[in-house]
Structure formats: structure tokens, C-alpha cells
Amino acid sequence: MKFFINATRTLFLAVFIWLMIKGAMVLWLGIFGVSLLLALLFGRIFCGWICPMNTVMIPTEWLSKKLNLQAKDAPKWLKSGFLSWSMLIILILAMIVLKKLAGFEMPILLYVLLLSVGVTLRYKPEVFHNKICPFGALQSLTGKFALLTEKVNFNKCIGCKLCESVCPSKAVIVSKQDKKARINPTLCHQCFNCQLMCPKDAINYGNKKNKKGEKNNENL
């Protein structure tokens, strides 16, 4: 499974680079648009499997830890959550204005890609994913209502927190009260990291309508 996921990410990264070289980024925006609709059914699969930002952030985080560059906490001004929406508005306006006034197409996706690398060199991945990424903000709107998503079987969960440690978007939280993990589909990238890490096979991907003992609580 892990090989298949990594191969898929690499393939879409190659497609992204090829479209960027060809100057056909509108096609990539089309892929993103389709993924917003698919998120209603499958969750934020774009973020976990397709997004080039996420793909380059994975080795960037590894490098940051190796070089001991990663800060423990993000600055307070990044925690408001307004930056991602502000960036989305600014990027759209900049793209439209430059196109109309100068006939220049702003390579916004390339700029966001470079920003994701810079931020991840200093902070944990969830900072960019949840507080900065303008595309992630849109994905969270439809991903919240996903029919299929990662969920936890409370009967099997032992509260070991291994799932927490591998979640790139901090979508998994183990409750202090009952020591059971909960997954927030609004934040979840459906990357399967938690499922692959779980030693008790307590996490699985499936219909949000749970069987007895299975939970997917958004109220973390």
C-alpha cells in the first residue's frame, strides 16, 4: 500500500511539473476542481495523494528534522486560520489583474509550492496544511462532508498515539478522557499514514456511517 501511495504521488508530481513546463497549468486547476467534488465522496484525497505541495513537503520535513531546524510551535499570528483564505483571495486577484493589465499569467502554483517548502523547513507540516495553504482551505469545505473517510474502531483502539505522530495535518487526536483516537475528516488527507501505523488495525477507510464501536468524531 505504501509503495502504491508513493508511486501515485510521484506520478502526479511529474504531471504537475510537465504541465508547468508546457504552460498548461489551467489543466492542473481543472484536476483540482474535480477533486473538490470528489472530496464529497472520498474525502481530501487530493491533499494526501495528488497535491505536489504535500509530496515535496514529505522529504522537506525529513530534512528539517535531520538538520534540527523545526520549531516546536508556530507563531501566534499563524494560528488564526485567516491566512489561508486571505492568500486565496490575494492570489486570485493578482492572477486576474496581471492577466488583464500586463498579459502575464502569474505562476501561483509554483509560488505556493516554494512557500510550502520554506514553511516546512521551519515548522511542522500541519502549519502549512491547516493555516496557510489556500487550496487546502477549499478542500476542507467539501472534505468535511466526505461519505468515505478514515475512521476509528473504539473496541480496538488502545490510545497509543502512534496515529497522532504520523498525521501530517493533525487530523488525529487521542482523547485525554477515554484514550481513544478520533479523526477529523475536515483536516484528514486520507493519506493512510495512521492506518498503516496502527498496531491494532483499529483504523480503516470506509463509509462514515459506522458499525458499532467505530467512530469518526469531528468534535476533537
Domains of the chain: 2-142 (no CATH), 147-215 (3.30.70.20)
What local confidence, expressed as pLDDT, does residue 200 receive?
A: 96
Judge whether 79 and 18 are in contact, CB under 8 Å.
Answer: no
- Supply the pTM of this predicted model: 0.88
Q: What is the edge-to-edge ordering of all strands in the sheet holding 203-207?
A: 203-207, 148-153, 214-215
Count of helix runs (H) and strand runs (E) in the chain: 10, 5
Please tell me the predicted confidence (pLDDT) of residue 105: 67
Alpha helices in 78-152 (DSSP H): 82-102, 108-122, 125-127, 134-143
From the list 95, 50, 61, the residue with the least C-alpha distance to 191 is 50
| Residue 132 CA, distance from chain mean position | 11
Mean pLDDT of 117-140: 94
